[in-house]
Structure 1
Amino acid sequence: MNRKWLLGIMICILAGVLIWSGIHPVKRSLWFFEAGPAILLVLVLLITYRRFPLTTLTYTITFISCIIMMIGAHYTYAEVPLFKKITETFHFSRNHFDRVGHFFFGMIVAAFIREIAIRTINIQKEKLLPIWVLCITLALSAAYELLEFLIGSLFTEDVQEFLGYQGDIFDSHWDMVMALFGGIALLWFSKWQDRQISSVTGKMNEKGG
Structure 2
Amino acid sequence: MPMIRIHSIGTWQCLVVLGYLLLSGLQPHDRFTWVLEVSWVAVGLVIVTRLSLRGTSITPLLAWLLTLHAVILIYGGWHTYERVPLGEWMQSTFGWERNHYDRIGHFAQGFIPAVLIREVLLRHEVVHGRGWLEWIVFAGCMAFTGLFEILEFAAALSFGGASDAYLGSQGDIWDAQWDMVYCGMGTLFSIMIFRKMHRKQLASMKPVDAAM
Tell me if 1:25 matches 2:31.
no
Aligned to 2:77: 73
Aligned to 1:192: 197
User: Is this contact kept in 1: 2:33–2:165, CA < 8 A?
Assistant: no
Tell me if 1:15 matches 2:22.
no
Match of 1:157 among 137, 147, 161: 161
How far the C-alpha of 1:156 sits from its partner, in A, is: 5.0
Larger RCO, structures 1/2 (Cα 8 Å, 6+ apart): 2
Structure 1 residues 200, 156: closer, same or farther in 2, change over 3 A? farther
Q: TM-score, normalised by structure 1?
A: 0.89
How far the C-alpha of 1:160 sits from its partner, in A, is: 3.1
Alignment root-mean-square deviation, CA: 2.1
The aligned amino acid for 1:193 is H
Once the two structures are superposed, the pairs formed by residues 100-115 of structure 1 within 5 Å of their partners are 100-115=104-119
How far the C-alpha of 1:104 sits from its partner, in A, is: 1.1
The aligned amino acid for 2:156 is G
Q: TM-score, normalised by structure 2?
A: 0.87
Aligned to 2:56: 52
Deviates more, 1:73-82 or 1:5-14: 5-14
Aligned to 1:121: 125
How far the C-alpha of 1:155 sits from its partner, in A, is: 3.0
- 1:41-94 Cα deviation digits (max 9, x unpaired): 121112113343221111211111110111111100000112202201211011
The aligned amino acid for 1:136 is G
Once the two structures are superposed, the pairs formed by residues 58-97 of structure 1 within 5 Å of their partners are 58-97=62-101
Deviates more, 1:5-14 or 1:32-41: 5-14
Quick one: distance in 1 between partners of 2:205 and 2:49? Answer: 16
- Which segments of 5 or more consecutive residues in structure 2 lack a partner in the other structure? none
Other structure's SS at 1:200 match: coil
- Which segments of 5 or more consecutive residues in structure 1 lack a partner in the other structure? none
- Equivalent pairs: percent with the same residue? 29
